[in-house]
Amino acid sequence: MVAVFPCHPQPWDMFMYNSRQALLFVLPALLLYVAFVAVPILQVAAYSLFSWDNGSIKAFSGLGNYQRLTSDGVFWTALGHNAIWAVLTLCFPLMIGLVLASILAERSPRTIRLMSALYFLPRTIPLVVAGIIWGWIYNPIFGLLNYVLDLIGLGSLGGAWLAESGSALLSLNAAGAWTFYGFCVLIYLSAIQSIDPSLYEAASLDGAGWGQRFRFITVPLLKSTTLFLGLYAAIEAMRFFDLVWVTTQGGPGYDTEVLTTHIYKTFFLVGDFGYAAALSVVLLAIVLTIGGLSYRILSQS
Amino acid sequence: MTRTSRVFQHAVLLLFALYALVPVYLVVLASLRSEADLFSGPLTLPWPIDIGNFRRVWFESGFSQFFVNSLMISTGSTLLVMLTAPLAGFAFAKLKFPGKEILFGLFLAGLVVPAPSVIVALYGDLQMLGLLNTRIGVILPQAALLLPFSIFMMRTVMEDVPDDLLEAATIDGATLFETFTKVVVPIVKPGLLSLALIAFLFSWQEYLLPLVVIQDETLKPLTVGAATLQGRYGVDYGGIAAAGIIAFAPIVVLFLVLQRSFVRGLTAGAVK
């Protein structure tokens, strides 16, 4: 971009308006953002330093709420599940997205449009509804998954997917992937389409097959796109809530508990405002760290 | 390319199309069947089509009201975003003012802030403002949480507006605001449409905020309504399926009709 618009000095600078007017442009957004995002974040940080009783502050407790984190097994379990979720997302939807996009890129524009719309369709469905649908697919009595396994003679593999501790998180992740891989296809597609086609032509002339072009052109040139999607997936893995809440609410036991559901339960069901605030601060610290790293890495590449 | 590898590639494309479509098909199927033969018999659509499930949830389970609430909440948040984000995006792209970098950084940080992390404070704040259990109480934080992405996207869009045009307008004596409304807005219309679609999509899908803010049955949006129906009458599968379809059909239609704008918005910022 920089090459196309040599920006310094900008001609627009000569007609600069006084800064008060420019600030007026930012002000409406800033007010809304400060009131409903920035201030609540500061409040949460402050709340975490107190012990609470029935929704009102009881006493200053310093880092007491944070000390509790170390002995809160559910917190560490939940954090582990968030991490597993991130890794699973990197393994499945991202890779599938890359493969599908690079196959699709060589098809006609009509096919590209149709197929990418199909892949993206699940993302337009609210996660609440997605959770309900997948809950049925995994249902041990009438679910489609067990039915299909029965049909192909693998009925012994069937089970109560979301109700067994071994399979609950994995099964849930497959539902999450369902809503995410289409997004990966879209992002990868637009990145592939910006790769110089002559690279592919030259490789083809040299006798490189699809697999080789994929391995030696597509994958290396899309490194920064993969990085973007990976970091995006990591942040989403920390943030997601709806899918778990409508299907398992963190169960069975704590087998699908994640940080957001732990916060929700601590706040609304237990009513422990101080500890819920401390958990929120931890969540914010993690996503802001990943976000900050992303910004650094992506603006370098 | 060899024949077999081409066939194999087609198979992969189709397999994942099935992955996308089968769950959707299942819910459509469930919504059109009576409770008795819901999950038995062949997996083909019944004929003649029976829309009894839709009629029941729409008229008896309150989904006509939930639909109106979703529409009001999503429209409200989208409007708020459209009234604030393009202005700010323009300022960040084209104007110079003190504190610009810091302010932009402040918004940028918000890109990662999840609703669950602020709910602990937001709940009390809304209660204090008397906004708990109102649609406005969902609209305001919803729009605020959408702002970082929206401003980021708008800045990218506004950067492509040629400086010459702004300059010409200034020479013609237009004020900054006039320049924005008469010169900038017409140029970035496609970007604005993309933003509106995405803001609407995200607000329509939001679950946690309305779940927390709204208790009143008559104010709930579709997402909360569908989850409630699933929790309370967990066995009315036909009804729940119909409710689910009412909850996603408008967005699916919107997406299919305006696919280009959606895709432009979703990939904005990601690929640059």
Tokens at residue A213, please? 């072009």
pLDDT at residue number A15: 47
Q: Which amino acid is at A24?
A: L
8 Å CB contact of B230 and A277: no
Round to whole Å and give the CA distance between A1 and A62: 49
The kind and range of the H/E element at A116 are: helix A109-120
Cβ of B255 within 8 Å of Cβ of A117? The answer is yes
Measure CB to CB from residue B84 to each of A28, A37, A125 and give the nearest one. Answer: A28
Residue ranges of domains in chain B = 63-267
Q: Which residues neighbour A9 within 8 Å (Cβ) at sequence distance 6 or greater?
A: none
CA distances from A241 to A260, B52, B238 (A): 6, 32, 25
- A46 CA: distance to closest CA in chain B (Å): 10
Residue with tokens 């807005």: B185
Reported as a pLDDT band with limits 50, 70 and 90, residue B171 is confident
The answer to whether residues A245 and A261 touch, using CB atoms and an 8 Å cutoff, is yes
Angle between helices A39-47 and A273-300 (to 10 degrees): 130
Secondary structure (3-state) at A263: helix
Contact B91 A264 (CB under 8 A): no
In the block, tokens 């409406």 appear at: A28
Name the residue of chain B whose CA is nearest to A21's CA. B176
Q: Does the beta carbon of A125 lie under 8 angstroms from any beta carbon of chain B?
A: yes
B63-267 topology per CATH = MetI-like fold (1.10.3720)
State the Cα–Cα distance between residues A136 and A143, nearest whole angstrom: 5
Closest residue, chain A, to B198 (C-alpha): A124
Q: Do A124 and B240 touch (CB under 8 A)?
A: no
Nearest Cα residue in chain A from B85: A29
Q: Are A32 and B144 inside 8 Å of each other by CB?
A: yes
pLDDT, residue B194, reads 92
Token pair recorded at residue A211: 């697999």
Q: How confident is the model at residue A8 (pLDDT cuts 50, 70, 90)?
A: very low
Element spanning A51, H or E: strand A50-53
C-alpha to C-alpha distances, B153 to A213, B158, B204, nearest whole angstrom: 32, 9, 19
Taking CA–CA distances from A180, the nearest residue in chain B reads B20
Taking 50 as the threshold, does the pLDDT of residue A14 lie above it?
A: no
Calculate mean pLDDT across residues B12-35.
90
CB-based contact, B237 to chain A, within 8 Å: yes
> Considering only alpha carbons, which residue of chain A is nearest residue B201?
A124
Q: What is the pLDDT of residue B198?
A: 92
Q: Give me the residue label for tokens 């009201």.
A: B65
Say how far apart CA A169 and CA A244 lie, in whole Å: 9
**Is the ipTM value over 0.95, yes or no?**
no
B118 Cα to chain A: minimum distance (Å): 6
Q: Confirm or reject contact between A246 and chain B (CB < 8 A).
A: yes
Angle between helices A93-104 and A109-120 (to 10 degrees): 160
B43, two tokens: 């997996």
Q: Which option is the CATH number for A51-300: 3.90.480.20, 3.40.1550.10, 1.10.3720.10, 3.30.1050.10? A: 1.10.3720.10
CB-closest option in B116, B140, B205 to A260: B116
B104 contact A CB<8A: no
- B87 contacts on A by Cβ (under 8 Å): 25-26, 28-29
User: Please, which residues 15-34 of chain A have a Cβ atom closer than 8 Å to chain B?
Assistant: 15-17, 19, 21-23, 25-26, 28-30, 32-33
Residue B204: its chain A contacts at CB < 8 A?
Answer: 126
The reply to whether residue B116 touches residue A245, judged by beta carbons under 8 angstroms, is: no
Tell me which residue has tokens 């309305």: B210
Query: How far are the Cα atoms of B92, B95, B157, B166, B260 from residue B187, in angstroms, in the given order?
Result: 17, 17, 10, 11, 17
Is A100–B85 a contact, with Cβ atoms under 8 angstroms apart? no
pLDDT at B189 over 90: yes
In whole angstroms, give the CA distance from residue B178 to residue B172.
11
CB-CB contact of A128 with B222 (8 Å):
no
DSSP symbol at B46: -
A116 touches chain B (CB under 8 A): yes
The model carries a pTM of: 0.90
Report domain extents, chain A.
Answer: 51-300
Distance of CA B92 to the CA centre of its chain: 24
| 3-class secondary structure per residue, B131-168 | CCCCCHHHHHHHHHHHHHHHHHHHHHHHHCCCHHHHHH
Q: How far apart are CA A144 and CA A161, in angstroms?
A: 11
Asked if B27's CB is within 8 angstroms of A22's CB, the reply is no
Kindly determine whether residue B23 and residue A235, on different chains, have CB atoms separated by under 8 Å. no
What are the percentages of helix, strand and coil residues in chain B, rounded to 5?
75, 0, 25
B222-238 residue pLDDT tens: 999 999 888 776 678 88
Report the gap between the CA of B19 and the closest CA in chain A (Å). Answer: 7
DSSP B3: H
Pairing of strands A50-53, A56-60: antiparallel
Contacts of B80 in chain A (CB under 8 A): 32
Q: Residue B81: its pLDDT value, please? A: 98
How far is residue B183's CA from residue B168's CA, in Å, rounded to a whole number?
10
Q: Which tens digit of pLDDT belongs to each residue from A252-291? A: 999 999 999 999 999 999 889 999 999 999 999 999 999 9
Among A100-104, B29-33, B65-69, where is mean pLDDT lowest?
B29-33
Report H helices in chain B: 3-32, 52-59, 63-94, 100-109, 115-128, 136-159, 163-171, 176-178, 185-187, 189-205, 208-213, 222-232, 237-257, 259-267
The pLDDT value recorded for residue B174 is: 86
* Cβ–Cβ < 8 Å for B208, A258: no
To the nearest whole angstrom, how far is the Cα of A87 from the nearest Cα of chain B? Answer: 18
